[in-house]
A and B are shown apart, each in its own frame.
Chain A
Amino acid sequence: MSGITLLQHGLTGISLGGAYALIAIGYTMVYGILRLINFAHGDIFMMAGYFMIFAVASMPWYLAIPLVMFLTVLLGVTIERVAYKPLRSAPRMSIMISAIGVSYLLQNLATYLFTALPRGYPEIPFLKKSFHVGELSASLVTLITPFLTILLTFLLMSLINHTKLGMAMRAVSKDYETSQLMGIKINRVISATFAIGSLLAFVGSVLYFTDRMTVFPFSGTLPGLKCFVAAVLGGIGSIPGAVIGGFILGIGETALVALGYSTFSDAFTFAILIVMLLFRPTGLFGEKVTDKV
């Protein structure tokens, strides 16, 4: 493989990894606070793709982006309020089943509203602009993704480490009941977590779908699961971990495709998951959890 193709694949991998990283943050934050695999997160990502298609069709992209951002956040927070909040005190299995139910509902809703046929994702002019360096060519989105991911992660980290809301989030994820006793309004904190997660899922969906060009009702399932794996890989609950996990999976997957093993690119993700769970269940950066009896 020549240097140029290697570099080209490297760029694709990093770009895919960036999108994965942003979605993985949503998983890791929700898991950190509610101990819930939010199976619907991948479908929120898919819905964000559809919202974008319809918004861009009727208004210029610079108006569409904030509107869709708002809609995605609204969707994420609503799902939490309707489907997870009533189950706060229920066993963990029920709330996980509820999450699977929401995912099922969103997929069926998308099939109903937008039909099962793939729809073209709108081209946002400045993101699609391609540039050439020597023989290397890439669109701007490929180049922007890693920087945007790192910038957003940095902002999020400062939010969590230096603001009152961030402190509340950390408290709730450490001990849910005590923080409630200390006067933290946990429902508000949980809503904020879902809002941030959905916001990042929206950014992820713009980056992901601009490269892939089509959206269909099930296009959130597999990326969703992969991003959860990324979150586990990095250590669930750890935001930098999720970002690094996302990049590892994105690059690894692209490498497999480049080597001609594209059928195994999905299996690779899950193989990593299983190896990780066996040898280091807390992930690369996860804190050690002790089982309480």
Chain B
Amino acid sequence: MKTLDRKANYILSAILAGIAILVLFYMDSNRATYSYPLAILQRSAIYAVVAVAMNLLTGFTGLFSLGQAGFMAIGAYTVAILTIPVELRPDVYYINGIAEPLAQASAPLWAALVLGGLLAAFMGFLIGYPVLRLKSDYLAIATLGFSEIIRAFIAAPLLDRVTNGSYGLKSIPGFSSTLISFFVAALCIFLMVLVIRSSYGRAFKAIREDEVAAESMGINLFKHKQMAFVISCFFTGISGGMLAVFMRSIDSKTFQIGLTYDILLIVVLGGIGSITGSILGSFLMTAGREWLRFFDDPLVIGGFNVPLFRSGFRMVIFSLILMTVVLYYRKGLLGNREFSWNGIYAFLQRLSQRLKRQKVSKEVGKDD
């Protein structure tokens, strides 16, 4: 079958990226009209970062970690503490006051994001030592446990003067332009793609396929697992920081296990082991929740009030769709393949061939 050459591939990708940038730019300059779709797109972009980070672990290294919410919380709180304007801090911490060294500490957004990522990565480094020795479901439950411990510490009275305890942090300045969030997300994903395509990335995949074989090929198992875990934690932390800036106010309840499950379902929906799948998955999942919103409103057909339609129905439908994907399309949207123009091209070719064949068979039918 004919395939597209490299040049055509690049041109198509550049066109798509150009269109995306133009559309975003247009929406951003008319922010008043498009605030709702922009908010959905922003949340999707932030989730895409953490979904790709999770995929780096689950899909590419074969480590099933469920600690995302905890690492996002570290990033989010770091960014929040460093970016809340100094003059607003007494209002935010009006109950317990703020710890002395933090009262004046502030950083620009990019530095706070990097620092949040680094702190999450450092935490991942410490946690990785004990837990990465565990296998599959034990690893999952141990990382899940750690994420709950992180959350408990954030809410603990001990850290009231740092994290404001259960009151949470508010007055976090938002993105000055929504384009920044898309740019940061794209940059993070690009860096992760570079990691996956490097020799380290190939070592990760070898570990995923067979640990014993990988080890006998000279891959240091622990070192590479630790590396994948730390890198994943770094980007999870950054996306947590972006979530804090996006939401403007956070508390420890934002980072419950449910958040990790959401990310996991995005990864499953897009396909475990597919980066473009994760990105697509996060946009579909975030937008899907909004598209299904009409299920929550009462539906009246010809004066008859259809009984099922009321608040909450949307999420039931949504989880049913997800269960269908999990049970019947176990590979998700893209499996472990990546989105490619060649794939689409081949699909279109097959489609046109099928149409042609149908036409031919119809014409043959006419002759009879």
Q: Find the A residue at minimum CB distance from B153.
A: A267
Alpha-carbon separation in the docked complex, A55 to B336 (Å) = 47
Instruction: Decide if B315 is an interface residue (CB 8 Å cutoff).
Output: yes
Instruction: Decide if B107 is an interface residue (CB 8 Å cutoff).
Output: no
Alpha-carbon separation in the docked complex, A197 to B16 (Å) = 53
In A242-276, the 8 Å CB interface with B consists of: 263-264, 266-267, 269-271, 273-274
Instruction: Decide if B312 is an interface residue (CB 8 Å cutoff).
Output: yes
B264 contacts across to A, CB distance below 8 A: 97, 100
The interface bits of chain A over 44-80 (1 if a CB of B lies within 8 angstroms of the residue's CB, else 0) are 0000000000000000000000000000000000000
Instruction: Decide if B313 is an interface residue (CB 8 Å cutoff).
Output: yes
Q: Find the A residue at minimum CB distance from B127.
A: A274
* A101 and B265 form a contact (CB under 8 A): yes
Instruction: Decide if B102 is an interface residue (CB 8 Å cutoff).
Output: no
A104 contacts across to B, CB distance below 8 A: 261, 265, 319, 322
Instruction: Decide if A239 is an interface residue (CB 8 Å cutoff).
Output: no
A274 contacts across to B, CB distance below 8 A: 130-131, 142, 145-146
Known: A225-B144, A267-B153, A293-B212. A102 touches B136 (CB 8 A): no
A98 contacts across to B, CB distance below 8 A: 323, 326-327
B193 contacts across to A, CB distance below 8 A: none
Nearest Cβ in chain B — how far from A103, in angstroms?
8
Instruction: Decide if A16 is an interface residue (CB 8 Å cutoff).
Output: no
Q: Find the A residue at minimum CB distance from B154.
A: A263
Instruction: Decide if B157 is an interface residue (CB 8 Å cutoff).
Output: yes
Alpha-carbon separation in the docked complex, A98 to B322 (Å) = 9
Known: A93-B136, A96-B137. A108 touches B145 (CB 8 A): no
Alpha-carbon separation in the docked complex, A162 to B312 (Å) = 47
* B137 and A97 form a contact (CB under 8 A): no
Q: Find the B residue at minimum CB distance from A31.
A: B137
How many A-B Cβ pairs are below 8 Å? 117
A173 contacts across to B, CB distance below 8 A: none
Q: Which of A84-92, A132-140, A152-160, A198-206 contacts B (4 or more CB under 8 A)?
A: A84-92
* B148 and A270 form a contact (CB under 8 A): yes
Q: Find the A residue at minimum CB distance from B130.
A: A278
* B319 and A263 form a contact (CB under 8 A): no
Alpha-carbon separation in the docked complex, A57 to B138 (Å) = 41
B318 contacts across to A, CB distance below 8 A: 108
Instruction: Decide if B134 is an interface residue (CB 8 Å cutoff).
Output: yes
Q: Find the B residue at minimum CB distance from A36.
A: B137
Most chain B beta-carbon neighbours within 10 Å: one of A92, A101, A113, A218:
A101
Q: Find the A residue at minimum CB distance from B159.
A: A263
Alpha-carbon separation in the docked complex, A112 to B310 (Å) = 8
* A105 and B137 form a contact (CB under 8 A): no
* A270 and B327 form a contact (CB under 8 A): no
Nearest Cβ in chain A — how far from B260, in angstroms?
9
Nearest Cβ in chain B — how far from A259, in angstroms?
13
In A169-202, the 8 Å CB interface with B consists of: none
Nearest Cβ in chain A — how far from B152, in angstroms?
4
The interface bits of chain B over 106-146 (1 if a CB of A lies within 8 angstroms of the residue's CB, else 0) are 00000000000000000000000011011111101110111
Alpha-carbon separation in the docked complex, A221 to B80 (Å) = 28
B135 contacts across to A, CB distance below 8 A: 291
Instruction: Decide if B149 is an interface residue (CB 8 Å cutoff).
Output: yes
* B327 and A83 form a contact (CB under 8 A): yes
Alpha-carbon separation in the docked complex, A101 to B316 (Å) = 11
Alpha-carbon separation in the docked complex, A277 to B58 (Å) = 21
A291 contacts across to B, CB distance below 8 A: 135
Instruction: Decide if A281 is an interface residue (CB 8 Å cutoff).
Output: yes
Alpha-carbon separation in the docked complex, A83 to B323 (Å) = 8
* A232 and B141 form a contact (CB under 8 A): yes
Instruction: Decide if B156 is an interface residue (CB 8 Å cutoff).
Output: yes
Q: Per a CB cutoff under 8 Å, which of A37, A112, A266, A278 touches B141?
A: A37
Instruction: Decide if B355 is an interface residue (CB 8 Å cutoff).
Output: no
* B323 and A101 form a contact (CB under 8 A): yes
A111 contacts across to B, CB distance below 8 A: 312, 315
In B316-335, the 8 Å CB interface with A consists of: 316, 318-320, 322-323, 326-327, 330
Q: Per a CB cutoff under 8 Å, which of A83, A109, A267 touches B149?
A: A267
* B316 and A112 form a contact (CB under 8 A): yes
Instruction: Decide if A229 is an interface residue (CB 8 Å cutoff).
Output: yes
Instruction: Decide if B221 is an interface residue (CB 8 Å cutoff).
Output: no
Instruction: Decide if A8 is an interface residue (CB 8 Å cutoff).
Output: no
* B326 and A37 form a contact (CB under 8 A): no
Residues of A within 8 A of B (CB): 35-37, 82-83, 86-87, 90, 92-94, 96-98, 100-105, 108-109, 111-113, 115, 218, 221, 225, 228-229, 232, 263-264, 266-267, 269-271, 273-274, 277-278, 281, 291, 293
Q: Beyond A108-B318, A221-B257: 4 further Cβ-contacts under 8 Å?
A: A37-B141, A108-B312, A270-B148, A271-B145
6 nearest A-B residue pairs (beta carbon): A270-B145, A112-B312, A267-B152, A108-B315, A105-B319, A267-B149
Residues of B within 8 A of A (CB): 58, 64, 130-131, 133-138, 140-142, 144-146, 148-149, 152-153, 155-157, 212, 257-258, 261, 264-265, 268, 272, 310-313, 315-316, 318-320, 322-323, 326-327, 330
Q: List 21 A-B contacts (CB under 8 A).
A: A37-B140, A83-B323, A90-B330, A94-B330, A97-B326, A98-B326, A98-B327, A103-B261, A104-B265, A104-B322, A105-B322, A109-B319, A111-B312, A112-B310, A115-B311, A218-B258, A225-B148, A232-B141, A270-B148, A271-B149, A274-B146
